Amino acid sequence: MSDEKFPGWHGTTILAVRRGGKVVVAGDGQVSVGQTVMKGTARKVRRLTPGGSDVVVGFAGSTADAFTLLERLEKKLESAPGQLARACVDLAKDWRMDKYLRNLEAMLIVTDGKDIFVVTGAGDVLEPEHDVAAIGSGGNYALAAARGLMSSDLDAEGVARKAMAIAADICVYTNGNLTVEVLG
Binding site residues, as ranges?
168, 171, 174
User: In the beta sheet, which residues pair with residue 74?
Assistant: none
Rg (CA), the chain: 15
User: In the beta sheet, which residues pair with residue 125?
Assistant: 119
Phi, psi of 39 (to 5 degrees): -155, 140
Which residues are part of a known binding site for Na(+)?
A: 168, 171, 174
User: Catalytic annotation on 13?
Assistant: no
Which residue among the candidates 12, 63, 111, 120 is catalytic per the annotation?
12
Sheet with 45-48, edge to edge strand ranges: 45-48, 55-61, 106-111, 116-120, 125-126
Is residue 41 within 8 A of residue 29, CB to CB? The reply is: yes
**Is the Cα torsion angle 132, 32, 182, 48 positive or negative in sign?**
negative
Catalytically annotated residues:
12
